[in-house]
Chains A and B, each alone.
Chain A
Amino acid sequence: MKKVTDFLKSTAGMVLIVTIIVMVAVHFITGGNFFTAYNVSTLTRQASFVIIVAFGQTLVLLTGGIDLSVAAVGSVASMCAAKMMVESGINPAVSILVSCLVGLALGLINGVFIAYLKLTPFIVTLATAEIYKGIVYIVTKGTPIVGIPAGAKFLANGVLFGFLPTIVIIMLVICFALWMMLRYTKFGRYVYALGGNRNCAKIVGINTEKVLVMVYMLSGLLASIAGTMMACKLASFQATIGENWVNPTIAASVLGGTSMIGGIGGVVGTVIGGLLQQTVSTAITLLRVSSYWETVVTGGVVLIAVTIDALKENSAMRDKVGRLFKKK
């Protein structure tokens, strides 16, 4: 019971409550249009892609870093997968696997610069993002690659039992694996230790460089999984795949209670954060509000969430805000 109340008091818990309230409210306002099998499966499917990428972002944020290259890595991977399947006729399973290895390699490049050359993650991934994106345009000249086999398409676009998209299952499996990794393996605990206090991590004998490199590789891997799945879903490669992934992945992590300073957070919260964003977006569509409002609302939600979080942590600031309200 205490665990439940603790969860509800956490950022992720509050975000979950808000998400449910929004869902229910929209359901009634639209006369029962929200909780339909079609809407729920569309919403969760769309959310899953961003959430998978956001898992990687969460791991990176836990170490106190940031990965701005996730979108570009996803794009490169989707291009590789599409090229292999369509132009070389390679088996989809092999193509997807190889594309994921490409994602790992791109993450490795980020990690080596950040861990061994001790460069700032923001700058390194900003630069590699530009390079990776550039490579996609050089190779494809921005033109789509169409004709991905139907089998691959089902993997990302299929629906089981009429409401459960396959990609949601993939996302949940990854979530469980990462949750286990973070909680029950040495590597997972070291990720937290690194973000919590790097000096202390060194002194207890953690190979901090290796852990960092592996985290960026995982981020690359997860971005490439989402990228290839997106290509499968669209049955084609589009140069725009992943274009808008960077900000939502950070937002999903933060809404899920992951600290930007590192050391605090987790992947379960990220699922909730990603769901809230997609719920807002769906609500705006269902309520027939101009879609231009979507980013305004999402941004506002993030601001409110981090403000509440900061107030929870900082008693002096809480006192001050409290007084502000008392005066009135």
Chain B
Amino acid sequence: MSEFVIEMKGVTKIFPGVKALDNVDLSVKPGEIHALLGENGAGKSTLMNCLVGQYTMDEGQIQMDGKPLKISSAQEANANHIVIVPQELNLLPDASIAENIFLGNERVKGGKINWKEAEREAAKLLKVLDLELDVTQKVKTLSAAYQQLVSIARALAYSPRVLVLDEPTAVLTSKEADSLFKSMQRLKAEGTSMIFITHHLDEVMSQADRATIMRDGQLVMVTEIKDITKEEIVTNMAGKKVAESQHVNRTYSDEIFFKAENLSRDGEFQNVSFDVKKGEILAVAGLVGAGRTEVFKSVFGITRPNAGGKMLIEGKEVNISDPGVAIKYGMGYVSEERRHDGITPGMSVMENMILPSFDQLKSHGLINYKKAADLTDKYIDRFRIKTPGRDALIKNLSGGNQQKVIVARWMAKGIKMLIMDEPTRGIDVNAKAEIHALCRELADNGVAVVVISSEMEEVLALGDRVMIMHQGRVKGFIDDVELTTEEDVLQLAFK
């Protein structure tokens, strides 16, 4: 018998033009939590997709219990009790919890689905995760966190020996995450091996037994967690030492660009008043669900502040009825859901960048692609966007580079105010520092910048001023950000 339940050896995967994986090994022992670490684009997901049969390896092999195993589809992986919980939820919103859990894995008896048994077992699986829910309710009625747990329960229905968890805590509150960790430890005690992908190194330090660190499609190191520190992990992931983003004292004008007075929207936020000055970075802090995204969706005209309030731009009252109007007043918006509203995946980097700017790229009434190409190249260069070229499809870029394209889109348009909602979510450490630098550069050019962030470090590093929201209300502002701690912000929020 092998020491390992699953071994991937010498895995190489080549995509057109890119070697996504280069001779990577991964070995997981029975009953261990194995962290798979690396920046975005390091090849973690590609490796896992090879493991569960989504991709075919160009080279390399997989062994289970020391015997070679050929996996060419998710079904085959599941049949061998190798199961993945993907980062992107893929549940059927209109189907019940039980239907979702046994989707593709139905409990069939005499040719028909035994719903009674399915419901009983679904409840049992949720129990493993410390959840008690009515399994007949529709999945769309659940919060994102519960949906994540239902996806995990779906994986458990295959009685996994190897369970891959790709960023399972991204949408969970810390309490929910703790409860997930308890379940993970229980599964571990029962002998289930887990491959745990996360960007939160604290979770790695507290939960994992061993770690494999990857960088640029290559294996960097395999280590016992007890033999390594957080700082060493970061250094190995990044390949060079990265400094955490520090607060920078900036000066800016006292000219107000945008002012909101008592904005309210039913069920979302009440009496929200604030202003943003030219060249200022206003960071908006608060917990998920504080109403921050909702306020700025209204500011940008995606929704209407239907319960009253006024918006003023450079002192004049404006009626922003849709995003087109907001853009005319010089605003830009970077959504928190990059793939959903930010990029148009099938279009090139250039097409994504120039989407709002055709008017300034015309000559003789027609779009001048020479001008468009020059503009795009300028920003690819200036923002150090890593892409094979302006004609590459944006979906093939890493998250950080996609985000840079979106920021560049608004810069190219020549805006006066930019709203950025969770600009660095799911973006690796280095790209994050670059995005922060971009925010400051924008502000230095006189743009009023609003950054909504759930990461307290980011709020304190970026904000010239911090606005704190809780349950749809503004709880206060902090001016001397440099002297502020995360605790101060939380105390204001819960005041």
Partners in one complex: yes
A interface residues with partner B (beta carbon < 8 Å): 180, 183-186, 189, 192-193, 196-197, 199-207, 263-264, 315-316, 319-320, 323
Tell which of A186, A207, A316 touches B56, judged by Cβ atoms closer than 8 Å.
A316
Cβ of B456: which chain A residues have Cβ within 8 Å of it? Answer: none
In whole angstroms, what is the CA distance A146 to B367 when docked?
46
Contact indicator B323/A263 (Cβ below 8 Å): no
The distance from the CB of B105 to the nearest CB of chain A, in whole angstroms, is: 20
In whole angstroms, what is the CA distance A316 to B72 when docked?
9
CB interface residues, B 324-348, toward A, < 8 Å:
324, 326-328, 333, 335, 340-347
Task: Contacts A200-B355, A203-B323, A203-B333 known; list 9 others, CB within 8 Å.
Answer: A196-B346, A196-B347, A197-B341, A200-B344, A202-B341, A203-B335, A206-B355, A207-B324, A320-B72
**Contacts A202-B323, A203-B302, A316-B56: A196 and B359 contacting too (C-beta < 8 A)?**
no
Nearest CB to that of B362 among chain A residues?
A186
Contact indicator B356/A205 (Cβ below 8 Å): yes
Contact indicator A186/B54 (Cβ below 8 Å): no
In whole angstroms, what is the CA distance A323 to B300 when docked?
51
Cβ of B72: which chain A residues have Cβ within 8 Å of it? Answer: 319-320, 323
In the assembled complex, B473 has its CB within 8 A of some CB on chain A: no
Cβ of B358: which chain A residues have Cβ within 8 Å of it? Answer: 186, 189
Contact indicator B347/A319 (Cβ below 8 Å): no
Cβ of A204: which chain B residues have Cβ within 8 Å of it? Answer: 323, 327, 355-356, 409
In whole angstroms, what is the CA distance A203 to B338 when docked?
11
29 contacts between A and B (CB under 8 A): A180-B366, A185-B365, A186-B359, A186-B362, A186-B367, A189-B351, A189-B358, A189-B367, A196-B345, A196-B347, A197-B341, A197-B343, A201-B344, A201-B355, A203-B300, A203-B342, A204-B327, A204-B355, A204-B409, A205-B322, A205-B356, A206-B355, A207-B324, A315-B15, A315-B55, A316-B54, A316-B56, A319-B55, A320-B56
Contact indicator B73/A205 (Cβ below 8 Å): no
Contact indicator B355/A189 (Cβ below 8 Å): yes
Cβ of B409: which chain A residues have Cβ within 8 Å of it? Answer: 204
**Contacts A189-B355, A320-B73: A200 and B55 contacting too (C-beta < 8 A)?**
no
The distance from the CB of A247 to the nearest CB of chain B, in whole angstroms, is: 26
Tell which of A185, A193, A323 touches B344, judged by Cβ atoms closer than 8 Å.
A193
Cβ of A315: which chain B residues have Cβ within 8 Å of it? Answer: 15, 55
Contact indicator A323/B56 (Cβ below 8 Å): yes
Contact indicator A184/B344 (Cβ below 8 Å): no
In whole angstroms, what is the CA distance A206 to B328 when docked?
12
Contact indicator A192/B367 (Cβ below 8 Å): no
In whole angstroms, what is the CA distance A320 to B15 when docked?
16
Nearest CB to that of A318 among chain B residues?
B56
**Contacts A189-B355, A204-B356: A197 and B345 contacting too (C-beta < 8 A)?**
yes
**Contacts A199-B341, A202-B302: A193 and B55 contacting too (C-beta < 8 A)?**
no
Tell which of B54, B327, B342, B344 touches A205, judged by Cβ atoms closer than 8 Å.
B327
Tell which of A184, A199, A263, A320 touches B366, judged by Cβ atoms closer than 8 Å.
A184
In whole angstroms, what is the CA distance A25 to B366 when docked?
42
Cβ of B340: which chain A residues have Cβ within 8 Å of it? Answer: 199
**Contacts A196-B344, A206-B324: A316 and B55 contacting too (C-beta < 8 A)?**
yes
**Contacts A185-B366, A263-B347: A200 and B341 contacting too (C-beta < 8 A)?**
yes
Contact indicator B335/A205 (Cβ below 8 Å): no
Nearest CB to that of B73 among chain A residues?
A320
Nearest CB to that of B58 among chain A residues?
A319
Could you tell me the dominant secondary structure of chain A's interface residues? Answer: helix
Cβ of B73: which chain A residues have Cβ within 8 Å of it? Answer: 320
Most chain A CB within a 10 A radius of its CB, from B72, B328, B358: B358
Contact indicator A185/B367 (Cβ below 8 Å): yes
Nearest CB to that of B54 among chain A residues?
A316
Cβ of B355: which chain A residues have Cβ within 8 Å of it? Answer: 189, 193, 200-201, 204, 206
Cβ of B342: which chain A residues have Cβ within 8 Å of it? Answer: 200, 203
Contact indicator A200/B356 (Cβ below 8 Å): no
In whole angstroms, what is the CA distance A323 to B73 when docked?
12
The distance from the CB of B63 to the nearest CB of chain A, in whole angstroms, is: 20
The distance from the CB of A224 to the nearest CB of chain B, in whole angstroms, is: 26
Cβ of A197: which chain B residues have Cβ within 8 Å of it? Answer: 341, 343-345
In whole angstroms, what is the CA distance A242 to B332 when docked?
47
Cβ of B366: which chain A residues have Cβ within 8 Å of it? Answer: 180, 184-185
Cβ of A207: which chain B residues have Cβ within 8 Å of it? Answer: 322, 324
Complex interface bits, B51-66 against A, C-beta within 8 A gives 1, otherwise 0: 0001110000000000
Nearest CB to that of B334 among chain A residues?
A203
Cβ of B302: which chain A residues have Cβ within 8 Å of it? Answer: 202-203
Contact indicator B367/A184 (Cβ below 8 Å): yes
Cβ of A185: which chain B residues have Cβ within 8 Å of it? Answer: 365-367
In whole angstroms, what is the CA distance A204 to B353 when docked?
10
Cβ of B326: which chain A residues have Cβ within 8 Å of it? Answer: 205
The distance from the CB of A258 to the nearest CB of chain B, in whole angstroms, is: 12
Complex interface bits, B354-379 against A, C-beta within 8 A gives 1, otherwise 0: 01101100100111000000000000
In whole angstroms, what is the CA distance A200 to B340 when docked?
7
Cβ of B328: which chain A residues have Cβ within 8 Å of it? Answer: 205
Contact indicator A205/B323 (Cβ below 8 Å): yes
**Contacts A189-B358, A319-B55: A203 and B341 contacting too (C-beta < 8 A)?**
yes
Cβ of B343: which chain A residues have Cβ within 8 Å of it? Answer: 197, 200
The distance from the CB of A37 to the nearest CB of chain B, in whole angstroms, is: 37
Most chain A CB within a 10 A radius of its CB, from B72, B323, B351: B323
Cβ of A192: which chain B residues have Cβ within 8 Å of it? Answer: 347, 351
In whole angstroms, what is the CA distance A251 to B54 when docked?
31
Complex interface bits, B190-217 against A, C-beta within 8 A gives 1, otherwise 0: 0000000000000000000000000000
Complex interface bits, B72-86 against A, C-beta within 8 A gives 1, otherwise 0: 110000000000000
The distance from the CB of A120 to the nearest CB of chain B, in whole angstroms, is: 16
In whole angstroms, what is the CA distance A189 to B335 when docked?
21
In whole angstroms, what is the CA distance A180 to B369 when docked?
13
In whole angstroms, what is the CA distance A263 to B345 when docked?
10
Cβ of A193: which chain B residues have Cβ within 8 Å of it? Answer: 344, 347, 355
In whole angstroms, what is the CA distance A294 to B183 when docked?
62
Cβ of B15: which chain A residues have Cβ within 8 Å of it? Answer: 315
In whole angstroms, what is the CA distance A70 to B197 when docked?
51
In whole angstroms, what is the CA distance A186 to B368 when docked?
11
In whole angstroms, what is the CA distance A316 to B77 when docked?
15
Cβ of A319: which chain B residues have Cβ within 8 Å of it? Answer: 55-56, 72
Cβ of A184: which chain B residues have Cβ within 8 Å of it? Answer: 366-367
Cβ of B300: which chain A residues have Cβ within 8 Å of it? Answer: 203
The distance from the CB of A63 to the nearest CB of chain B, in whole angstroms, is: 13
CB interface residues, B 355-409, toward A, < 8 Å:
355-356, 358-359, 362, 365-367, 409
In whole angstroms, what is the CA distance A71 to B344 when docked?
32
In whole angstroms, what is the CA distance A189 to B367 when docked?
10
Contact indicator A263/B344 (Cβ below 8 Å): yes
The distance from the CB of B304 to the nearest CB of chain A, in whole angstroms, is: 14
Cβ of B356: which chain A residues have Cβ within 8 Å of it? Answer: 204-205
CB interface residues, B 6-59, toward A, < 8 Å:
15, 54-56
